[in-house]
Amino acid sequence: MAQQQLHSTEELDQFVAESGKRLLFKHSTTCPISATAYSEFQAFLQGESVPSAVIHVIEDRPVSNAVAERFEIKHESPQLFLLVDGQVKWHTSHWKITKDAIAQALKA
Q: Are 67 and 1 in contact (CB under 8 A)?
A: no
Q: What is the pLDDT of residue 23?
A: 98
How much is the pTM? 0.96
Task: Identify how many contiguous H helices and E strands the chain contains and give both numbers.
Answer: 4, 5
Q: What is the pLDDT of residue 1?
A: 60
Q: Are 83 and 21 in contact (CB under 8 A)?
A: yes
pLDDT (mean) for 39-55: 95
DSSP-assigned letter for residue 12: H
Compute CA 56 distance to the chain's CA centroid, rounded to the nearest angstrom. 10
Q: What is the pLDDT of residue 47?
A: 79
- pLDDT for residue 2 is more than 80: no
CATH numbers and ranges of domains, the chain: 19-107 (3.40.30.10)
Q: Are 33 and 57 in contact (CB under 8 A)?
A: no
pLDDT (mean) for 3-24: 97
C-alpha–C-alpha distance, residues 90 and 54, integer Å? 16
